[in-house]
């Protein structure tokens, strides 16, 4: 099946290259981002159609991609066989001149390239292992492969069936052919590369020189949460990559009056809205920023804006609305449940002014993130930061260190930030607070006064912070949600880069901070540590998958020895349990979630439900009564029990 996947990847690339060549983007960054968007268009569109036909199989996907590649090839021939832009390296003299002019920029670029090469190796060595991936990101993909459709199924893990699904379609692509998750983590890794190109292109669109634009794009990729997300099968970084692509293509399309780029921007919006709800939270601030800049300038491109709006609507209907329609049909609500964006909030209601201002203050405080900072600096700086936070919160009348205005069991506290990096609980390192926030604040004011296009990303960030503050109670895992908007603001960093002694000193300081934080983030990533007692070296694949989950390690290892690779397994698990490993390393097992969940598994229940294997979470969830040893073998690994039918 590996050869089939290589062939299918070639067909998808032919589709993207042919249409990108037909559209003739005016710049090389625009061409690369067009490829990024078109690859996703091909994957999502084909999977949605095959899902409706209950034909999500490797051979059906190969046939569909071949058909679309043929159509794209014929369109390319009909358009006169336009050639894509050349990506030839400049003469050696240009390289040497650039190296002499910007040695620090070259150092930053080489370090970032080496770091992401190492992250690619980590993606290959360490299987996906974080909580969300094991509970629903990859579990839903395995169920799609099992059912051959994206349609929902009965399960207590409701997130598997109601959340937007476009990013997981990227994981589905390789897993469908390879029958393992070896390449699933590369979806977000390639998204990081797309962020690099989009940030560079946006900075150029804002008028910055190439060196400045490159500096901004490299700095963005050093931020801890960007680094951490690039080795997970979550979806936050891909949302940010698609949002940045959408805005980049829009601004270049408006500037050059290129309708093809406006179409691609609309498709990118549709893809982003089908990836995660945070994409919707980017739109209000982005719309205000775009509206202000466009309406205060002349001439106003009304016709092109209307064309873009129509492309956005078409993009959403074709590429973003699938899961919302499916939810409406199956559950009677486009979100699957009306309260999906609301968490249990103490003493307040979502949308209240107290919640919004409290959440925004807590997010600003959390953006001073010590992820990747050397421990001696943390020990010296963190207590002072806590005291400052308490003083500011007290002056603003905000509730410090309390359960109030927080999601249940996710309370906000002023506590010492750890230097261990977590793809769930981290933010964006010290530069997220010391660089991103000041630049956003500056361009909110300066952009408003000057009617400058840099007001757009600044307003998008501010709007996102307000909307997410209104929609959700505060929780410690919301840092990664900001991946949706952080890349949009990254081009503003280009303004810091420049000549002069002061600017050079600032650049070097930023380079040292960024590279130090990025390096320590990679080394101390708690789910994929390269150093320390839990380092991945010398561990088996099972041990690497369970490096964070000691309670899960033994049951899943025993599964491979106790249950055949192509058996049927019933799962009676809590919504927080790791269901994905039940499918096996090669996704050969059939997993049946038992829902509604029984209170007790006894002999009568097993007689009615003749599953050969049952995995049960027993602690306060489902009780297993004594069973006749001649007919069943029960293996106990608290809090789990594995029931094996002997006959």
pLDDT tens sequence across 5-17: 999 999 999 999 9
pLDDT tens sequence across 599-619: 999 999 999 999 999 999 988
* Domain residue extents for the chain: 353-524, 542-645
Q: Report the distance separating Cα 619 and Cα 639, nearest Å.
A: 6
Name which of 116, 233, 131 is nearest 184 in CA terms.
Answer: 233
- Across the range 213-231, mean pLDDT stands at 96
Q: Report the distance separating Cα 460 and Cα 488, nearest Å.
A: 8
Q: Report the distance separating Cα 607 and Cα 597, nearest Å.
A: 16
> What distances in angstroms separate CA 433 from CA 223, 389, 401, one per listed residue?
11, 13, 21
Assign 92 a pLDDT band (cuts: 50, 70, 90).
confident
Residue 296 has a CB neighbour count (10 Å cut-off) of 12
- Across the range 135-150, mean pLDDT stands at 96
pLDDT tens sequence across 293-315: 988 888 888 899 999 999 999 99
pLDDT tens sequence across 241-292: 999 999 999 999 999 999 999 999 999 999 999 999 999 999 999 999 999 9
pLDDT at 347: 44
pLDDT tens sequence across 500-525: 788 888 888 999 999 999 999 999 99
Residue 527 · residue 185 · CB < 8 Å: no
| DSSP conformation class of 199 | H
Residue 459 · residue 285 · CB < 8 Å: yes
Residue 106 has pLDDT above 80, yes or no: yes
Q: HSE-up of 81 (CA within 13 Å, CB side)?
A: 0
Residue 106 has a CB neighbour count (10 Å cut-off) of 15
> What distances in angstroms separate CA 351 from CA 289, 345, 472, one per listed residue?
22, 11, 8
pLDDT tens sequence across 392-437: 888 888 876 555 556 555 667 776 555 568 888 889 999 999 999 9
3-class secondary-structure state, position 431: helix
pLDDT tens sequence across 457-501: 999 999 999 999 888 778 788 899 999 999 999 999 999 887 778
277: phi then psi, degrees, rounded to nearest 5: -65, -25
Q: Which tops the pLDDT comparison, 378 or 518?
A: 518
Q: Report the distance separating Cα 129 and Cα 422, nearest Å.
A: 12
pLDDT at 300: 84
Q: Report the distance separating Cα 519 and Cα 111, nearest Å.
A: 9
Least reliable range by pLDDT among 42-51, 89-98, 139-148, 204-213: 89-98
């Amino acid at each position: 099946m590996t050869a089939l996947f290589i062939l299918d990847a070639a067909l998808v690339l032919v589709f993207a290259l042919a249409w990108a060549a037909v559209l003739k983007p005016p710049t090389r960054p625009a061409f690369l981002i067009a490829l990024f968007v078109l690859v996703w268009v091909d994957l999502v569109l084909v999977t949605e159609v095959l899902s409706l036909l209950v034909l999500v199989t490797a051979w059906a996907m190969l046939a569909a991609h071949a058909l679309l590649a043929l159509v794209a090839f014929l369109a390319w021939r009909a358009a006169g066989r336009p050639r894509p832009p050349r990506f030839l390296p400049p003469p050696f003299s240009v390289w040497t001149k650039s190296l002499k002019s910007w040695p620090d920029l070259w150092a930053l670029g080489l370090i970032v390239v080496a770091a992401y090469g190492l992250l690619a190796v980590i993606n290959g060595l360490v299987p996906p292992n974080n909580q969300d991936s094991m509970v629903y990101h990859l579990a839903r993909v395995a169920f799609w492969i099992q059912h051959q459709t994206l349609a929902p199924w009965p399960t207590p893990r409701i997130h598997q069936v109601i959340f937007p699904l476009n990013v997981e379609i990227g994981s589905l692509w390789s897993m469908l052919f390879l029958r393992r998750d070896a390449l699933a983590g590369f979806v977000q890794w390639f998204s990081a590369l797309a962020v690099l190109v989009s940030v560079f292109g946006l900075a150029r669109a804002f008028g910055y020189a190439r060196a400045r634009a490159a500096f901004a794009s490299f700095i963005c990729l050093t931020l801890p949460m960007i680094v951490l997300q690039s080795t997970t099968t979550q979806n936050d970084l891909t949302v940010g990559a698609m949002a940045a692509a959408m805005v980049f293509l829009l601004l270049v399309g408006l500037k050059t009056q290129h309708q093809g780029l406006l179409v691609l921007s609309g498709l990118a919006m549709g893809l982003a809205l089908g990836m995660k709800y945070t994409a919707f939270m980017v739109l209000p601030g982005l719309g205000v920023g775009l509206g202000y800049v466009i309406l205060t300038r002349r001439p106003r491109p009304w016709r092109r804006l209307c064309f873009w709006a129509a492309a956005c609507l078409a993009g959403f209907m074709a590429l973003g609305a699938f899961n919302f329609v499916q939810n409406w049909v199956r559950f009677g609500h486009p979100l699957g449940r009306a309260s999906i964006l609301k968490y249990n909030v103490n003493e307040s209601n979502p949308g209240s002014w107290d919640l919004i201002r409290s959440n925004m203050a807590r997010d600003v405080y959390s953006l001073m993130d010590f992820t990747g900072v050397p421990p001696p600096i943390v020990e010296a700086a963190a207590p002072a930061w806590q005291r400052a936070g308490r003083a500011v919160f007290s002056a603003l009348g905000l509730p410090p260190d309390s359960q109030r205005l927080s999601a249940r069991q996710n309370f906000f506290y002023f506590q010492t930030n750890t230097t261990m990096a977590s793809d769930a609980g981290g933010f964006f390192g010290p530069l997220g607070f010391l660089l991103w926030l000041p630049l956003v604040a500056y361009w909110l004011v300066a952009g408003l006064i000057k009617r400058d296009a840099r007001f757009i990303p600044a307003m998008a960030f501010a709007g996102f912070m307000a909307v997410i503050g209104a929609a959700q109670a505060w929780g410690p895992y919301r840092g990664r949600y900001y991946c949706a908007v952080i890349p949009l603001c990254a081009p503003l960093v280009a303004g810091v880069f420049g000549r002069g002694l002061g600017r050079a000193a600032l650049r070097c300081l930023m380079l040292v901070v960024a590279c130090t934080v990025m390096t320590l983030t990679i080394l101390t990533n708690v789910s994929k540590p390269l150093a320390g007692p839990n380092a991945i070296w010398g561990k088996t694949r099972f041990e690497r998958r369970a490096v964070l989950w000691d309670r899960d390690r033994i049951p899943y290892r025993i599964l491979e020895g106790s249950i055949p690779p192509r058996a049927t397994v019933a799962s009676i698990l809590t919504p927080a349990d790791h269901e994905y490993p039940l499918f096996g390393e090669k996704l050969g097992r059939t997993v049946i979630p038992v829902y509604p969940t029984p209170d007790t598994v006894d002999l009568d229940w097993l007689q009615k439900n003749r599953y050969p294997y049952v995995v049960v979470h027993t602690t306060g969830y489902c009780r297993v009564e004594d069973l006749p040893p001649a007919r069943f073998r029960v293996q106990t690994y608290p809090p789990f029990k594995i029931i094996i039918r002997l006959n």
